[in-house]
Structure 1
Amino acid sequence: MLFIDTIQLEGLGNRAYLAGGRHTAVAVDPPRDIDRVLAAAARRGVRIAHVAETHLHNDYVTGGLELARVTGAAYLVPAGARVAFTRLPVADGDVSTVDAGLALRAVATPGHTPHHTSYVMEDNGLPVAAFTGGSLLIGTVGRPDLVEPRLTEHLARSQYASAHRLAAELPDETPVLPTHGFGSFCSAAQAEGDTTTIGRERAGNIAFTADADTFVARLLDGLEDVPAYYTHMGPANAAGPAPVDLTPPSVADAEEIAARLAAGEWVVDLRSRIAFAEGHVAGSFNFEADGRLATYLAWMIPWGKPVTLLAESAEQLAAAQRELVRVGIDRPAAAATGTPERWVPDGSRPVSFPRSTFAGLAGRGTDDVVVLDVRRSSERAAGRIGGSVHIPVHELHRRLGEVPAGTVWVHCAGGMRAAIAASLLDAAGRDVVAVDDRFDAAAAAGLDVITG
């Protein structure tokens, strides 16, 4: 009786897996908040006997070491990964018994990292699933440029060879269960679809539809910027992450919030961009709890800088803490819940800025305002508003001085990143309008959209 449960990590765009039989199971690439994995095992009534890492992750802090410690499971880590803790080193071809009739076979698939290892689940010797980590993804592969620039082209060629090895060894009907590709910047491109098999990938993945040289050229040409916090994830995973503490942080009153802002610390408002624009603490930044909180906050905040979280509820605060520990932001310096009226000192009032749409911008006209595009370069290359200024949102906090004088109408592709950017500009004292609209609407509104 084989089961495979998917543990979705929406904020990071990743997946972890719990797979096993009647009595025991293996957890593959678990998140740092291991209680989710333990709860999945409890629902199945199984013991976690193995924890398997496909590689040392560059985009999140693993919970594998702690999960193995808590459960007494064998901790499978690729033998080529240099780590500072005791684990069971896994080499190509090693087999681990998961449950009666179920076994996990290690397959060396370098490319995303030099030591990357996939795991094939076999039921009485027949392959029934392939946990491919950052190797073969849905319609793409894991990016090869996160380890060392000198290795990037070599690893890209390794990705090609690894994909072909998996396809050669596994039947077409074998489900492919990757860790990356659902929004993670560890993926060379984003997944199209939710599930796949070896056969589907053989038919449509560029790793199979192009020759090696073409594959490598297109892979390297399409790589996006690397989130800054990735620099810290690999070393943290190699050293062995500490257990997480998800207890509520200390409560900050209005005076403490003001003091932390005055000291140059980050105060992050987790409420919706609509609520933030209508009223917020002057100097605070808006990273929506329902957006890509962990990715963009960890990308933009100077590493190690204290952060105070402002939330509308204890539940929103707790969810944000859980997201942030996954990327190494372990403990907020302080937090507060409620409304902005409670977060400003006596005698002060919340501040606000306007929101609009592309139709509003077209009606206003662009001649005497700054139109700031905070999308990534690849997005802008597909279409841009004539005369607009381009600074990707993850660079804006370091490049505020480059934004021309005048009222700034800031836009992205859908509104979330524009809200982050608007909050940064507002905190810097700029007059700003957040364009909360899909970029598809710009041309229809009559704006001069340049393509190509």
Structure 2
Amino acid sequence: MFFVDTLECEGLGNRSYLAGGSGAAVVVDPPRDIDQVMAAAARRGVRIAFVAETHLHNDYVSGGLELARVTGARYLVPAGARVSFARTPVADGDTVTVDEGLVLRAIATPGHTPHHTSYALTEDGRGVAAFTGGSLLIGTVGRPDLVEPRLTEHLARAQHASAHRLADELDDAVPVLPTHGFGSFCSSSQAQGDATTIGAERAANDALTLDADTFVARMLAGLDDVPAYYAHMGPVNAAGPAPVDLTPPRRADAEEIASQLAAGEWVVDLRGRTAFAEGHVAGSYNFEGEGRLATYLAWLMPWGRPVTLLADTPERIAAAQRELTRVGIDRPAAAATGDSAGWIRAGERLASFPRARFADLADARERGDDVVVLDVRRDSERAGGHVDGSVHLPLHELHGRIGEVPDGVVWVHCAGGMRAAIAASLLDAAGRDVVAIDDGFDAATEAGLTLTRPGRAG
């Protein structure tokens, strides 16, 4: 009897899969930290016989090469992917036997990348799973604009054709198991649910319900910004990622933290945004360990810049270190744990700034306070409505454009509070007076703030 185990990478919004029978298994699109994959195989009591990539990933560093080396598995990589390491190139229609009666077949599904390949798993000739990578996702497809701008429309049309090919070749009951779509910016939109089948996608996915021209136009119109670090992921994966080192980083004391800040290095506080606002090392940035740490830190931080991590516990440092290796931030320069008072030198004081709700913003405006409202959501979010009179700088652009924020006390908001906390820390480090709005955006309407929506004045 076959099995499929899902391995979540929640911080990056991706999934990997371990699938097999009683003795052997295949791993599809493994994460960089392969120890969790090997632990899953050990729990099943199976040997990892194959490691399969659907494509060269643009949003994370793959652990496939290292997993294949450590386990002795055959490393299946689409033949069209240009790589600098030994692998088993797979082309459309190629098959491998994973375990007795369990066969994996490669299906060329270009679109997310030109070489993208999906894999259909059959047991005794019956389709039991489709590993669709960045092709057919839950209610959507992978975005086609991450390879080369001149290829975007061509790849969007290829996505449409690939989705139809999967729907034509696989039975309605076959589960669709994508890699992207659970928060990753590799998806053209986010997953509509947690599980799906070929039949469900045939009925609801735009790629299967719209004609090619309409589908392409709609997809291209909806594409959002791409995280800056994506530019580094493909080359790293093509060259062959190095093994990870998850040993604890060197301990930093208050003097070293101050020196790193003075040198322009990044000091990142992983605590929750409430604790950070109440007291933090002046000049440090707040990226919550419980949030989208890897995505936003790798997006905002200059690539290759040394980073020191601060957290209340060693466990939080270890979890962050693991997540950051997945996007190529391999070794923190140093780390410090414990109470924040221990991170500053004698005679220094922790910095702080207030937090507020949208109702507090409405009150401040009513009083006539000198208020600058800064919206750090993405363009697509702001298009659905915004606070009248607000300044718009998406979070990923803020670090390089802080000088454009008007004078005054900056009340910064996003859609829920996490990105506003990051932005508030950037502004605070730059010496601005800031208030972090920790509130859901719907509360702006409830607070009586006027929102501008498409078709309305303002």
Name the count of aligned residue pairs. Answer: 452
| 1:319-371 Cα shifts (integer Å, max 9, x gaps) | 00000000000000000001210000111011100000001111111752100
Equivalent residue for 1:357?
357
* Percent of residue pairs identical: 77
Q: Which residue of the partner structure matches residue 401 of structure 2?
A: 399
1:47-196 to 2 correspondences below 5 Å: 47-196=47-196
In structure 2, give the amino acid aligned to 1:434.
A
* Aligned counterparts of 1:346 and 1:84: Cα–Cα separation in 2: 52
User: Which residue pairs with 1:257 in the alignment?
Assistant: 257
CA drift at 1:105: 0.1
- The Cα of 1:77 is off from its aligned counterpart by 0.1
Alpha-carbon distance in 1 for matches of 2:247, 2:181: 31
* 1:450 to partner: Cα distance: 1.1
State the secondary structure of the residue aligned to 2:316: helix
User: 2:229 corresponds to which letter in structure 1?
Assistant: Y
Counterpart in the other structure of 1:423: 425
Structure 1 segments unaligned to the other structure (5+ residues): none
Q: Which amino acid is the alignment partner of residue 152 of structure 2?
A: T
Residue 192 of structure 1: how far off its partner (Å) = 1.2
The Cα offsets for residues 24-52 of structure 1, whole Å up to 9 and x where unpaired, read as 00000000000010000000000000000
Alpha-carbon separation, structure 1, partners of 2:320 and 2:307: 12
Q: Please give the alpha-carbon distance, in whole angstroms, between the structure 1 residues aligned to 2:25 and 2:15.
A: 17
Structure 2: which amino acid aligns with 1:33?
D
- The yes-or-no answer on 1:378 pairing with 2:356 is no
Aligned-pair CA distance for 1:186: 0.1
Is the aligned partner of 1:216 residue 2:216?
A: yes
Corresponding position of 2:411: 409
In 1, the alpha carbon distance for the partners of 2:404 and 2:210 equals 41
> Secondary structure of the residue that 2:27 maps to in structure 1?
strand
Q: Residue type matched to 2:411 in 1? A: W
Contact persistence 2:364–2:371 (CA under 8 A): no
**Offset from partner CA, 1:45-79 (integer Å, 9 cap, x none):** 00000000000000000000000000000000000
Q: Whole-Å Cα distance in 1 between the matches of residues 339 and 296 of structure 2?
A: 23
Corresponding position of 2:453: 451
Find the counterpart in structure 2 of residue 294 from structure 1.
294
Tell me if 1:438 matches 2:440. Answer: yes
SS in 2 for 1:57: coil
Q: Give the superposition deviation at 1:126.
A: 1.4
Q: Do 2:375 and 2:390's aligned partners in 1 also have CA atoms closer than 8 Å?
A: yes
State the Cα RMSD in Å: 0.6
Give 1:230's aligned residue: 230
Q: Secondary structure of 1:77's match?
A: strand
* SS in structure 2 at match of 1:202: helix
Q: Which amino acid in structure 1 is aligned with residue 323 of structure 2?
A: E
Contact 2:310 2:317 in 1 (8 A): yes
What is the CA–CA distance in structure 2 between the aligned matches of 1:361 and 1:93, rounded to whole Å?
Answer: 60
Q: Distance in 2 between matches of 1:385 and 1:219?
A: 27
Summarize the alignment of residues 205-354 of structure 1 with structure 2, pairs less than 5 Å apart.
205-354=205-354
Rounded Cα–Cα distance in structure 2 between residues aligned with 1:362 and 1:208? 46
TM-score by length of 1: 1.00
Q: Distance in 2 between matches of 1:279 and 1:110?
A: 50
Q: TM-score, normalised by structure 2?
A: 0.98
2:21 is aligned to 21
Instruction: Flag structure 2 segments of 5+ consecutive residues without an equivalent.
Output: none
Q: Secondary structure at the match of 1:15?
A: strand
How far off its partner does 1:125 sit?
Answer: 1.3
1:46 matched to 2:46? The reply is yes
SS at match of 1:348: coil
Report how far residue 129 of structure 1 moved. 0.5
1:414 alignment partner, SS class? coil
Measured in 1, the distance between the counterparts of 2:258 and 2:192 equals: 45
1:166-212: per-residue Cα shift (whole Å, max 9, x none)?
A: 00000011100000000000000000100000000000000011110
* Structure 2 Cα separation of the partners of residues 401 and 364 of structure 1: 24
Distance 2:218 2:274 in 1: 39
Task: Indicate the SS of the match to 2:309.
Answer: strand
Stretches of 4+ moved more than 4 A in 1?
Answer: none
Q: Which amino acid aligns with 1:254?
A: A
What is the CA–CA distance in structure 1 between the aligned matches of 2:244 and 2:99, rounded to whole Å? Answer: 29
2:6 matched to 1:33?
no
